[in-house]
Structure 1
């Protein structure tokens, strides 16, 4: 008997020992290395894409801006798709690995467009614009396939890998520390790409810059795969996103059914059993958005002849699924206000590059700031002010008021700084146009104040949004809350494209030569839209009641 106990104890110790080799901090360096390579490879391309399209593919500036918006928007939309696929079918590792390989393939293909002359049009003549030839159908096809692969790959890998990395830890504080290091690496690598790699592309050649991006992506894939034996195994759990769809479909199918006030008429089981057994009386769905309570209503069509419940997830949902759905619907107004907060930022980032291309970018006698690197000011100012906010401003506020500021207040301050950034953008562009008409080139340094304001605003609203959605989303949807923020940014890029299209059709503010346009009027329009959106945000946030806190 003692021998069996000793053997069992030995097996348990060996199991614990083997388990300790998987997960935990030993796996973290591989995720950090992976995101560093992926960020360098993708940001080095996407950050300078407008310049590449206009200079190397002879694409008009506003059209290049819209293409860039689609690319960046896709990198923010695909995380949601990747999360659903990972949760429902393949798991995070295989989705992240496949996505990173797709990114690598896209960087290689774009590298070939620069190194193989037949894959890009002849450069425009400096003497006459009439000799500019647009890309052929094949050249467009190869170009679009390459940037599509980069969008899918980077979008599908970064958040999926982050979730997989956090799953390697059991303690929430360790997960939080991992996220800090993961996204710190993401910002540092992106900043390095927006400065170093873009400088190489502008001064040493696109082929060298794109080659570095391809090598960085390759290293990221290799590092990620090398850590596989240290990762905890995971199984797909099914996507909670589908539960939201089931509630909508089930309630729509029963729209004619009358709601009941009896608790036993609603399906309260979440265990997956098909027999209706309640040890305790089940709860009644909440009174808010009562139409969707029908999804949990048990009707005759939901029962077998012996009284057991039919297994049909698209006709009958649990009360918990219904309540989770209603929580999401309650957050949607705030989500839409954040959407219109992102659109001005997206448009400003596009116009900043076009403005920088026609401004004096010299810094001293021998250095010229790359146009695609201008937006790095946001990446610098946001973390700096975020540190000040976290270490100085918020603790001081707590000492004075004995209360911590609410997340919605913090996000609201971000709205204000965003509008102020657009005001400064409009004033600076008005001054730049006046000087351009006098044939005087304005220094690109005048663009820095508006970018700093946007960075300060982002320090307020972006972490505030991530924390707000993480806390307010139902427990079953925690893993998708950050992907929802990413999707919000992606939709903003697509909507900004539509807004640019409308402005071009209705006005003459956005010609291909912005020196003959009125981008300052576009900025004033964004100030007006931002002000209206801020009022809408106040209307949505004032009555909101915090949950899950």
Structure 2
């Protein structure tokens, strides 16, 4: 039915151009056999296994560095931040390569093999003691890794970062490209995030438990198997994917707009004709915002017959640049938020290492890194409740839906609440340490305080709920607001937030450690609670900045007299 209507509309629009229309319809028929829900198990299956791989090696990296490489705890968190930052930065590279040159399929296939190489070599470091420093047995200071051992470790981490970073968000965009209607895209993103968080829960519980209790080589070996399965699954769907042909670098057109506008900065726009794309039938009117860039699309005699050059661009290219400029302040308001989340995750692991991690009265001991799975589990459950119960019920009762911006704002608020709760838990832990005279006993990792680490469940749950609002809201907002040519880049912007945020958290951690006595390798001798209060205060200020940016932001659909609230958020 929809196809017949589309065919009818095309014929009415082109009239006598019947042959051209027939050719385009043949192309449509050819592509209609690909994509859709047929590709769903291949893309989601490969994303599941690759996420299991990533969680298995990155989730327990701090503990691996401390226990196997004799790295001091605070330094281990900083190394972890840099690694996560790099892993989150490479999706931008993957998005550019995908959008501009090779397409999503080639990029994902290549980076998944790089990931497999990295995790395989990581398994070797756990299998051969010569690749690590001697164990630290009741002596201080412990032997540090040699330059060669550090070199091997960092090379492996680099490969894993490139591989995992280059596949995660490119997979998200490729999956969305398989569907033509916004409702299916929304449902896809809903399932994508659910599977993503569920895989993180599994990796940060089962795989990390194997690493801590069975052996690091076995744990990393499981990751190798998962990565291999992911590669096979993804390649198996080759004949079913709808492949979007790269149209050249969209960033080139952005640069052309800026250069063309600068060249024509003295040209008057009065009585001048604008250059529209030859395939653009809508001939949109250039907007009044950032009107300086409109000069790039002005036609003057010196442009000759060229429709696209470094002195002449199209109106659509000008408007695409304006869209990016408008959204950047709002995007920047989440950088600090990402940094706060990174510091929270690191400190939670250190807190867990210094608390009683036994479950009840049993001998079962929860791995320290597995506590982050509580955060992820809370996020997964909250996403399901929000999109399948709470949001539909809210819309039915009030008649209006919650927008992506509102989801992000709620995430900001809950993030601050989570940091405050973490500070309260740390105050209680330090009081218990003082009551048992555990202050000043160790120069290395903190002596375990007889207080249940299950207290960390409260701040972790709150932070998990906040992320259920934040990240789906962000990726939905950017996907609908970014120009079509930058769709892969739009989803990778979330990853860029994580990258910049974790780099920022590394800087903040270093500054706090150098300028105060609050952060110690032995948490019992520091004041982590004050650090949490400081982070909460920063979160409040950052939320104010977000409100200002949100107030000034105008949705792209506003210019078309459409209500952004009608756009599906996640299905």
Show the counterpart of 1:87.
99
CA offsets 1:332-383 (integer angstroms, 9 cap, x no match): 1111112222221111001101111111100032211101111111111122
Matches of 2:93 and 2:347, distance apart in 1? 29
Show the counterpart of 1:366.
363
CA offsets 1:211-266 (integer angstroms, 9 cap, x no match): 111111112112222232333444222232333233234334445x24423341x3
Show the counterpart of 2:108.
96
Which one of 457, 463, 470 corresponds to residue 454 of structure 1? 463
Deviation at 1:79, TM superposition (A): 1.3
Show the counterpart of 2:320.
324
Matches of 1:59 and 1:447, distance apart in 2? 24
Give the 3-state SS of the residue equivalent to 2:409 in structure 1.
Answer: helix
Give the 3-state SS of the residue equivalent to 2:270 in structure 1.
Answer: coil
Aligned pairs (5 A) from 1:14-53: 22-53=34-65
Give the 3-state SS of the residue equivalent to 2:365 in structure 1.
Answer: coil
Matched, 1:419 2:416: yes
Change (3 A) 1:259 1:498: farther
Matches of 1:63 and 1:375, distance apart in 2? 19
Change (3 A) 1:478 1:31: closer
Q: TM-score, normalised by structure 2?
A: 0.85
Q: Give the conservation status (yes or no) of the 8 Å contact 2:34–2:240.
A: yes
Show the counterpart of 2:126.
114
Which one of 252, 269, 273 corresponds to residue 277 of structure 2? 269
Show the counterpart of 2:292.
291
Show the counterpart of 1:386.
383
Aligned pairs (5 A) from 1:226-245: 226-245=236-255
Q: Give the conservation status (yes or no) of the 8 Å contact 1:259–1:297.
A: no
Matches of 2:276 and 2:38, distance apart in 1? 42
Q: Give the conservation status (yes or no) of the 8 Å contact 2:426–2:529.
A: yes
Deviation at 1:124, TM superposition (A): 0.8
Deviation at 1:21, TM superposition (A): 6.4
Q: Give the conservation status (yes or no) of the 8 Å contact 2:307–2:313.
A: no
Deviation at 1:400, TM superposition (A): 4.1
Change (3 A) 1:244 1:15: closer
Give the 3-state SS of the residue equivalent to 1:441 in structure 2.
Answer: strand
- Compute the RMSD of aligned alpha carbons: 2.5
Matches of 2:379 and 2:192, distance apart in 1? 17
Change (3 A) 1:214 1:19: same
Q: Give the conservation status (yes or no) of the 8 Å contact 1:259–1:293.
A: no
Higher deviation after alignment, 62-71 or 99-108: 62-71
Matches of 2:35 and 2:481, distance apart in 1? 28
Matches of 1:353 and 1:516, distance apart in 2? 17
Deviation at 1:19, TM superposition (A): 6.8
Higher deviation after alignment, 432-441 or 190-199: 432-441
Give the 3-state SS of the residue equivalent to 1:374 in structure 2.
Answer: helix
Aligned pairs (5 A) from 1:103-252: 103-125=115-137, 127-130=138-141, 132-252=142-262
**Structure 1 gaps, min length 5:** 1-13, 273-278
Show the counterpart of 1:404.
401
Deviation at 1:109, TM superposition (A): 0.8
Deviation at 1:424, TM superposition (A): 0.8
Change (3 A) 1:403 1:502: same
Show the counterpart of 1:4.
none
Matched, 1:537 2:546: yes
Give the 3-state SS of the residue equivalent to 1:442 in structure 2.
Answer: strand
Q: Give the conservation status (yes or no) of the 8 Å contact 1:430–1:520.
A: yes
Give the 3-state SS of the residue equivalent to 1:369 in structure 2.
Answer: coil
Aligned pairs (5 A) from 1:338-349: 338-349=334-345
Matches of 1:400 and 1:140, distance apart in 2? 58
Q: TM-score, normalised by structure 1?
A: 0.88
**Structure 2 gaps, min length 5:** 1-25, 439-448, 558-563, 565-571
Matches of 1:369 and 1:539, distance apart in 2? 43
Matches of 1:246 and 1:436, distance apart in 2? 62
Matches of 1:16 and 1:299, distance apart in 2? 37
Matches of 2:401 and 2:27, distance apart in 1? 45
Matches of 2:83 and 2:276, distance apart in 1? 44
Change (3 A) 1:369 1:28: same
Higher deviation after alignment, 241-250 or 65-74: 241-250
Deviation at 1:408, TM superposition (A): 2.2
Aligned pairs (5 A) from 1:479-490: 479-490=488-499
Deviation at 1:16, TM superposition (A): 10
Change (3 A) 1:223 1:171: same
Q: Give the conservation status (yes or no) of the 8 Å contact 2:178–2:242.
A: yes
Higher deviation after alignment, 25-34 or 351-360: 25-34
Higher deviation after alignment, 283-292 or 152-161: 283-292
Change (3 A) 1:283 1:171: closer
Q: Give the conservation status (yes or no) of the 8 Å contact 1:262–1:284.
A: no
Show the counterpart of 1:350.
346
Change (3 A) 1:259 1:499: farther
CA offsets 1:413-466 (integer angstroms, 9 cap, x no match): 211111111111111112212222333422111111111111121222222222
Deviation at 1:22, TM superposition (A): 4.2
Matches of 1:15 and 1:295, distance apart in 2? 33
Matched, 1:494 2:490: no
Q: Give the conservation status (yes or no) of the 8 Å contact 2:433–2:524.
A: yes
